[in-house]
Amino acid sequence: RKEVEQDPGPFNVPEGATVAFNCTYSNSASQSFFWYRQDCRKEPKLLMSVYSSGNEDGRFTAQLNRASQYISLLIRDSKLSDSATYLCVVSSGYSSASKIIFGSGTRLSIRP
């Protein structure tokens, strides 16, 4: 089992739709969680951190469920510019045991 798993997609949804991605992680000691987006042949860019209480940034909402060990990303009123690959990131450990794990990404394509 992979340490961080994402549905690879692709998700193909119409503009204006709401779309949600989940990401599961296996290490219960994981401490920090993030969502990044990556455009084709570009570097990943931080979308948002994921906090225990959940957080929202405009059309984007991130949730953390420690009991079930998953994080989610909800995109409302999707735009054409939201087309990208969305990567979840889980980090655990500290000092010499630091581990930062990226999922393989979920591809999202928004159609007009």
Partner 1 sequence: DAGVTQSPTHLIKTRGQQVTLRCSPISGHKSVSWYQQVLGQGPQFIFQYYEKEERGRGNFPDRFSARQFPNYSSELNVNALLLGDSALYLCASSFVVVELSYEQYFGPGTRLTVT
Query: By C-beta, is 17 or 60 nearer to partner 1?
Result: 60
The least distance separating partner 1 from the CB of residue 55, rounded to whole angstroms, comes to 12
Nearer to partner 1, 40 or 67 (CB): 40
Which residues are paired to 45 by β-bridges? 37
Binding mask 32-71 for partner 1 (x = CB under 8 A): x-x-------xxxxx--x----------------------
Query: Should residue 96 be labelled a site residue for partner 1 when binding is judged by CB under 8 A?
Result: yes
Q: Does 105 bind partner 1 (CB under 8 A)?
A: yes
Separation CA 27–CA 91 (nearest Å):
9
Q: What is the identity of the amino acid at 97?
A: A
**Is 92 near partner 1 (CB under 8 A)?**
yes
16-36: b (≥16 Cβ within 10 Å) or e: eeebebbbbbeeeebeebbbb
27 Cβ neighbours under 8 A, 6+ residues apart: 3, 90, 92, 99
Q: Which residues bind partner 1 (CB under 8 A)?
A: 4, 31-32, 34, 42-46, 49, 87, 91-105
